[in-house]
Amino acid sequence: MVEALSMMIVGDDADRARIRPDLAASGKVRVVDETDDYARVAELINRSHPDSVLVILNGPASLELIRTIKTYHPSTAVVCTGSGRHCTVDMVVKSQRAGASEFLMQPLSLGEIEQVVDRILGGGRSSQPSQSVIAAYSCRGGSGVTTLCVNLAVTLAQTFDKLTTIVDLDLQHGTAPLFLGVRPEASIADVVQNWVRLDAKLLEGFHTRVKAVPQRLYCLASPAEVTDVYQVEPWHIKELIARLREQFSFVIIDCQHVIEPVTVEALNQADTILLVTLPDLASVYTTKRALETFKELEGFT
């Protein structure tokens, strides 16, 4: 039997009537409730317990509704659709930032509906984190690596409502906490110094919560003391990333600008490497050399 996604539709009567036949034709969506009253959405979710809510966008009020749904019902997927001025690139981005996980273009396509349903059901049934480790690296300082890492981590945590951490591996000059507006009380040095008794709870305790995305975004700071930098060894990084995979959906690594054993190990363990450069001759030259180094890493393509 084909598994159907239970869905509540929120929007004007005419809009709901227009898209309802397409949802039914897909055979993969079961509409369990409908309303045009935003004030009743929470009540209906508590009554129907849908897998998802389809919000037909009609302006700022619908974006606020998405935020409310994700705040009080984080496990309920929010799918958006819109037409005309409510189906612009800007509106799609705003809906995702508000918490929507999918956007259906109108007129609805049966193929697109099936893909969205499969993604939601697949994600909802998985008990494992996505285990995505992303390392950002540049051969030169001032290229914007930390800025990229911070913005990427905030966006991932907000958009996907998943546990995300930034690991500041610029061991001597790390500034990720400064960019995030936090003052860490612990660092990766504490992880290393307590390695023998390190468990999931202790590892979480060494992270600093980022208030901008409460309960979703964390930071593991670089050592506060220069003398602690030399305690961090490549095998620590390998094992640390393996443990972080088990606790976080997204692990963003802000690498230092020197190709040395700790950095190489971080790059080696990453699922994705973001190589950051600038449009000048020196940057292009050093980037070419970095690519040659990356080709020696395990699994690099």
What pLDDT was estimated at residue 246?
A: 86
- Tell me the three state secondary structure of residue 130: coil
> Could you tell me the fold of the domain covering 132-294?
Rossmann fold (3.40.50)
Q: What is the DSSP letter of 142?
A: T
Check for a shared fold between 5-125 and 132-294.
yes
What pLDDT was estimated at residue 297?
A: 60
What pLDDT was estimated at residue 179?
A: 92
What pLDDT was estimated at residue 3?
A: 63
Q: Mean pLDDT per segment of 10 residues, for the chain of length 301 residues?
A: 79 92 91 94 89 92 91 87 79 85 86 87 53 83 87 88 91 90 92 89 91 86 88 91 90 90 89 83 78 65 49
Nearest Cα neighbor of 220 from 171, 265, 261, 264 is 171
H/E run at residue 140: none
Q: What residue spans define the domains of the chain?
A: 5-125, 132-294
Nearest Cα neighbor of 180 from 203, 156, 149, 202 is 149
Are 28 and 54 a contacting pair, CB within 8 Å? no
CATH code given to domain 5-125: 3.40.50.2300
The model scores a pTM over 0.75: no
